[in-house]
Amino acid sequence: MSRILLVLALFVMVSVTSAAQPWLGVWTNSEKAPENWDQFVAALGLPLEQFSGNPKATITITRDDGDNYKVLLDVPAINFTSTWNLRLGEEMVMDEFGSGMRYNFTEDGDKLQAHVKISAIGKQYNENYEVVGQELIITYKMDGIVAKRFLKRDQSS
């Protein structure tokens, strides 16, 4: 179960700020299929039979104050809901899954970047978040592999 939650965490640690704060709000899966996701999962050493696909998830991102943000993840298929607090420029540890995931989010112009270390499996990679129109594109880069996941802004929020 912890590996399932690890991949969900990879999928959902959504960015949270820029000058216009396009990251804030509610995001859900896009109809677009992930790109190279299976290759990325395999490079992490995770079983494809458990982590391929595009599980339905809702991510709500709010700003508390300054550089402090809250991310709420809801994945109905596995009856999972969790909330993370993060601050730009400071390491955030997600040990609740036993994965030892450490995120450090920074801004780069109109994009958000995260450097991620997963001590439980001895891997690290980079995530880039970019809002284009009403779509959030999350790009994952590790060992020459580039994968993408797509989220759309929930218009009902």
pLDDT in tens, the chain (157 residues): 555 555 555 555 443 333 457 877 899 989 899 999 999 989 988 777 777 777 788 888 888 888 888 889 888 877 888 888 889 999 988 766 667 789 998 888 778 889 999 988 899 999 998 999 999 999 999 999 999 999 999 987 5
Concatenate the DSSP letters of all residues of 86-123 into one string. Answer: EETTSEEEEGGGSS-EEEEEEEETTEEEEEEEETTTTE
Question: How far, in Å, CA of 56 to CA of 77, rounded?
Answer: 7
Cα 27 to chain center, whole Å? 11
Range of the domain at 133: 2-153
Per-residue pLDDT at 126: 97
The tally of domains found in the chain comes to 1
3-state secondary structure of 29: strand
CATH code of 54's domain: 2.40.128.20
The pTM for the full model equals 0.80
Tokens 């109809």 correspond to: 31
